[in-house]
Amino acid sequence: MGDSGTTSPRDHLVSFVENDEELLGSMVPFVVDGWRRQEPVVVVATDTHRRALEAELSARGWQPDRLRGAGRLVTLDAGEMLTTFMVEGRPDPELFRKGITEALDRVRPGRVHIFGEMVRVLWEAGNVTGAIELEECWNELAEERSFVLLCGYPHSVLDSTRLADVGRVCALHSDVLPPPGFAGAVAAHVPASNVREEERARTFLPAAHAVHAVRVFVEETLSAWGAKALTEDAVLVSSEIATNAVRHAVSPFHVTLVRSGASVRIAVTDAGAGVAERETPDDDDATGRGFMIVDALARKWGVDDLSSGKTVWAVLGQR
């Protein structure tokens, strides 16, 4: 952290969680990390989540009331805070700055850990524009105050929101955190949304951990369909296309699997700019072989250009 007080490139984080248990799995380590660094904590969350957080902290031996009295903890209601600066459905930058700086001034001076859920409240109310503008307000405030901010969203917004809007949210953050316990409990994070029995789809975030999640999603779906003979190739093809979305499109993306007889169609739709092309790498190149692999394993594949983004698809198996 420099003397200017501007947050570092990794100081605005976002987490998309499936349920309240995962939310606590994000909140508790974040809050405790602040205290262990001797940094105060500000929590702006719903009443239910604030109560659950304090109960969990107490169970772990922390004393929220004592920490609050020592200027190391401030808890605020997300809905009530929104009423102090939202004007006609949009955050007023000056009112936001006034309200948040007053909250920050209630804790010890210095860098502050902030968990924020106001964007979640706005997004779930259908005010996507307001949530995005609120993220921008946080980034502007970071130019004058020193803090690390974790914003919490429900994973469900990914399946009900335009990819472009989710992409804007991700772009306003320095890092997209994997779900808590991701490495040890992957299966819990890949429930498919069933359109019909022969089609399953899921939305993923533009982060490195997403490629592994795609592999698990594809493997579990094909296993449920009894298409184990296609699993190895399908997992490899889907992970190559997903890697392209993460590395080059830098966009959230939908993965859709469609079964038709003995064949499976894999489609990855992103909102990123650019095209997906097969390259011919040199022998000593470490990367660049992704679509060569897709071409070798798929019966056919292609790219459909969309008004915003593209869909890369591949068909595996017999006709």
> Under CATH, which number does the domain 186-317 receive?
3.30.565.10
Per-residue model confidence as pLDDT tens digits over 186-215: 333 344 444 456 899 988 888 778 899 899
> Under CATH, which number does the domain 12-177 receive?
3.40.50.300
pLDDT surpasses 50 at 116: yes
Q: What is the mean pLDDT of residues 235-252?
A: 87
Domain residue extents for the chain: 12-177, 186-317
Per-residue model confidence as pLDDT tens digits over 12-52: 999 988 889 999 999 999 999 999 999 999 999 999 999 99
pLDDT surpasses 50 at 78: yes
pLDDT surpasses 90 at 61: yes
Give the per-residue pLDDT at 85: 98
Give the per-residue pLDDT at 274: 57
How many C-beta atoms surround the C-beta of residue 248 within 10 A?
15
Tokens found for residue 279: 């390259």
Give the per-residue pLDDT at 304: 92
**What pTM was estimated for this model as a whole?**
0.79
Do the domains 12-177 and 186-317 sit in the same CATH topology, yes or no? no
pLDDT surpasses 80 at 166: yes
